[in-house]
A and B are shown apart, each in its own frame.
Chain A
């Protein structure tokens, strides 16, 4: 065992991760020497670190799939595209958080350090080639997020949210680990490629494989927040400080999609017929519960949380199709959803100010009078979430539905469309509140210039990608050729 030949791994393939880790530690130290009055400097440093990481990923964009660290790190086009999307959205989330955090006394260096480490965890997850790195990346992400949710120590609902997130997250990790341990038991390997080959071989008894598959699917969908493992999502999104909700509601969805792809497609593709059944049930339930319960919400953070659950249902649809077109449609959906969700939660930050959380639906009343431009941005975001053309959300839904129809699951596509129409109601209600109701609140919007630029760019990206969907769609399709 100790005599197996060891060759020095190709470190350069993991250059973005190595840079991010080094820079995160440097930011952690540099923050000690920054006086409280100039704490925003840490924010700018963190954003710069993330953008440089994105640049490094783009420079090292791979033509084909290669692995390093003995197969534990996968360097392929899918991971590169997902990483760039995730990094840009994480940078957006940090950029939007300054005024909100400063007003609540939360503008601390640790916020940004934890965010950087969670981004590192997401990158590890996206590139994971073995159960070991899947799990370590997931824990690195989750631990940082638990702490970020609990950061506002004087808020009892934030503490409750953090506690729930932590306990349920630990249970989900436990389920996932149990599934992995059974797979390790029957295949004798932690490496996803080896596991895939061993399962495809057909020599393994079906009973342990099925039990392992059930545990893995439950663990993964717990993390994604699919029904019936969704109960934590609204409470955590509602209880966490809004800037943290923006962070956990957007970029980690891209990483969770990668996790699903790595575990189910890279690791267990030969069991596709089995996990397809599980995912069909989960996605139909998510579409139904997510869209119907969202109608009853009066708090926009909770409403967006239930909308997340319904979008997860859509995301699962593409994956369960099990075709290259389905995977690329889901990947497109994950990237687009993260972009829309980031914008949606940023709108809540826009309405917040010192001592006031603009997180009720009523706070959107008459936004058009207060700020026509941002009301328009919200209009684009809501239309996109509802899936109306010409926004990008329309194309995301069309691609997923086309992939589902292609594998002869027409009834599933019909169900998805029916619940999307139900869902359109609560998105359009926000638009109605903004344009046709009187403003109750006439305070000026108190956000910095960087926030306005970032949110405008987000809205324009949703519209622009809707007008020219081929750019990103082509990229997602090329990944699975």
Chain B
């Protein structure tokens, strides 16, 4: 067994185990942390495929940004695990049957008889100075420019939708209006009161 195979099976096992952990962990924070582990090992698998750009982006974007945000949300929301698990035992037998059927189908279908090396010859290893980033960039902005632009539009829709659904101007909330703060004049905030110093206000 070559070094690559050993590494592949090692990290593949960790990936599957941590993915199983995500869906079985009782504590949601543990679930999120296991998902982080799964992303890290998936990144390693990509490195083994010589796709270093994708591996680094996976770590930077998913682990660095998305999962941290996830962790914040999980910690801030009071997730009642017991309520979510209601009916878990009731649907478990049906779920197991469906999962087994699906797994059997996939094992039968996605095997060497249809996806073996005789159908898809092993790709040649790329030279050490091959730049995955450069290759991706060249493809994205030439051959795949149309889907690339569409993906950008989808992100724009996500921004518009998120803002529309969450931005509320409720009466009584103390939001900061920066332009009003900047525009403010001395007269708006300070009031000079003339009082006789010797008399003062008598209680």
Residues of A at the B interface (CB closer than 8 Å) are 1-2, 4, 6, 9, 14, 21, 25, 28, 69-70, 72-73, 108, 110, 113-114, 117, 120, 124, 130, 132-133, 136-137, 139-140, 143-144, 146-147, 150-151, 153, 182, 185-186, 188, 204-205, 207-208, 211
Contact = CB atoms under 8 A, between A and B. Distances in A.
Interface in B123-170: 134-135, 138-139, 142-147, 149-151, 153-154, 156-158, 160-161, 163-165, 168
Contact of B157 (A117, A150, A185): A117
Where chain A touches its partner, the secondary structure class is helix
B153 A21 contact: yes
B164 A151 contact: yes
A140 B154 contact: yes
A169 to B, nearest CB: 14
B151 A143 contact: no
Contacts of A4: 143
Contact of A140 (B106, B145, B150): B150
A207 B161 contact: no
Contacts of A6: 142-143
Interface of B: 105-106, 108-110, 113-115, 119-120, 134-135, 138-139, 142-147, 149-151, 153-154, 156-158, 160-161, 163-165, 168
A143 B157 contact: yes
B42 to A, nearest CB: 16
Contacts of A69: 145-146
A211 B109 contact: yes
Contacts of B160: 28, 110, 113-114, 117, 147
A144 B114 CA distance: 38
A100 to B, nearest CB: 18
Given A6-B143, A143-B161, A136 B150 contact: yes
A96 B161 CA distance: 22
A1 B150 CA distance: 23
Contacts of A72: 146-147
B100 to A, nearest CB: 16
B110 A133 contact: no
Nearest to B158: A143
Nearest to B113: A205
A137 B109 contact: no
A139 to B, nearest CB: 6
B165 A185 contact: no
Nearest to B147: A132
A207 B139 contact: no
A136 B142 contact: no
Contact of A136 (B120, B154, B158, B165): B154
A55 B105 CA distance: 49
Given A2-B138, A9-B146, A69-B145, 6 more contacts: A21-B153, A72-B147, A110-B161, A136-B154, A147-B165, A205-B113
Nearest to A21: B153
